[in-house]
Amino acid sequence: MTRRRMVSTFILELLTIASLILANTETLFFKVPSTFRSESSEYDTASPHLSLVNTNRGTKEFDIPIGSTFGLELHGLEPGDTYQAKFCWTAADPVDVRVIGWALQRKKGSPSSKDLINVVNVELVPFSYPAIKTSTVPVIVSVAAVRLGLPVDLYSTLLYITLVFAATYGVYRHFLRSIVW
């Protein structure tokens, strides 16, 4: 088998394996309007929320009810920025996502129509027979800003892969090349 064929086969196998890893994960990309300004200086922490104040990513675990829409408030989003929200749960909880979306909603109990909050909505439904017996599913929600087309939480992974590749190439170039050739 030629070297080119071996490399293309290896890349195809990696892509096949990577496609299997996507199970039990849902992703949502959304852009906050550049005209969005929250009139409120303080956030309601009584309702489910995820704060990105003074950071560009956040992760938290929530118990999401099955069969009803769950709204998650996002605090500290910058106007005009694009964000990625990821929802991850274990395979031990066989559920499917029926609805996933993002919206600007008026704050509960607020008389001002300008007092808006960012909300990510998700609805889970049972996806097994017999139906799942629990009423909630623990879901890890991760929200990250998107820069240069990539979520910022992937930059450290890409840097690690690049360093491993460079180190491997350096070892091959300086030590193993004389042995192999």
Q: Is residue 109 part of a domain?
A: yes
For the purposes of burial, counting CB atoms within 10 Å of the CB of 64, is it exposed (0-12), middle (13-18) or buried (19 or more)?
buried
pLDDT on residue 22:
52
- Supply the DSSP symbol for 158: H
Residue 93 · residue 134 · CB < 8 Å? yes
Does residue 14 lie within any of the structural domains? no
Task: Quote the pTM value.
Answer: 0.74
Are 71 and 20 contacting, i.e. CB atoms less than 8 angstroms apart? no
Structure confidence by residue, pLDDT tens digits, 25-38: 889 999 998 887 76
Q: How many domains does the chain have?
A: 1
Is 138 part of a structural domain of the chain? Answer: yes
Q: Is 1 a member of any domain? A: no
- In a domain? residue 147: yes
List the domain range (segments joined by +) for residue 100.
25-173
Of the two residues 134 and 40, the one the predictor is more confident about is 134
Place 44 in a pLDDT band, splitting at 50, 70 and 90: low
* Residue 15 structure tokens: 């892509």
Amino acid of residue 36: F
Residue 159 lies in a domain: yes
**Structural domain includes residue 45:** yes
Q: What average pLDDT does the chain have?
A: 83
pLDDT score at 8: 82
Let me know if residue 17 belongs to a domain.
no
Q: Is the pLDDT of residue 141 over 90?
A: yes
Q: Average pLDDT, stretch 124-145?
A: 88
* Distance separating alpha carbons of residues 65 and 45, to the nearest angstrom: 19
Contact present, 72 and 99 (Cβ < 8 Å) = no
CA-CA-CA-CA dihedral for 150, 154, 159, 162, to nearest 10: -80
